[in-house]
Amino acid sequence: MQNVKALIFDVFGTVVDWRRGIAREAEAFLGRQKGLDLDWEAFADAWRGKYQPAMEPIRKGKRPFTKLDVLHRENLLQVLEEYSITGLSEAEVDHLNTAWHRLPPWPDSVPGLLRLKSKFIIGTQSNGNIALMVNMAKNGGLPWDVILCSEVVQAYKPQPEAYRRACEALGLPPSQVMMTAAHNNDLAAAKAQGMATAFVARPLEFGTKNRKADIEPGPGIDVAAWSFTELAEKLGC
């Protein structure tokens, strides 16, 4: 780990609180503006639940690479239909779809990233697309040095190319790049490509009643922490 020069981060769930953010945006638009009364966290879960299945045909080569904003919109239309929500204009669907651009960071994300940035290159390595990541950074004050994402590497994690091409884009060997995530499957895939790994627990990613979140680091993880600020401390920042 002494040779690590860059940390790249999973974003959804690791850096930002997607569930609370989507529920809040949906309630503000569909609830207060459109007068609907729903379980907004369940709505967020339903939308997020289509995330991995939508990427799978692309991973398998059955669909050309398609950026996440497009997949999110396709998924949103399905969720609206499932909830029997009708009458939204194309512009209104577009507005709701960009809720992903406005997700709130976890409280420790910005202060921890600022500390890590003092010593390392820091950047995203997300399945999001460039505009999504840039807008999220602007909205949330995320101090990235670089935006790496599926649109840059033309692959969706956990495809091996997603990690290899991110390291190549930085001009660094995988051993000098640390993948940072709250999800052990992401870190295992990065480690298989020779990257260093950091696990940051986000026990509330799926809410207080859902136990889907990884709490403990998987085997072979190089460093584990409960926050970005603790990670910074462990890495000497």
Q: Is 171 exposed, middle or buried (0-12, 13-18, 19+ CB in 10 A)?
A: exposed
Is the omega angle on the peptide bond into residue 158 within 30 degrees of 0, that is, cis? Answer: yes
The CATH architecture annotation of domain 6-17+103-234 reads 3-Layer(aba) Sandwich (3.40)
Parts of the chain belonging to CATH 1.10.150.240: 18-102
Neighbours of 108 (CB within 10 A): 17
Parts of the chain belonging to CATH 3.40.50.1000: 6-17+103-234
CATH code of the domain occupying 18-102: 1.10.150.240
- pLDDT tens digits, one per residue of 16-62: 999 999 999 999 999 988 889 999 999 999 999 999 999 999 999 99
Mean of pLDDT over the chain:
95
- pLDDT tens digits, one per residue of 97-123: 999 999 999 999 999 999 999 999 999
Distance CA 178, CA 203 (A): 21
Is 70 exceeded by the pLDDT of residue 211? no
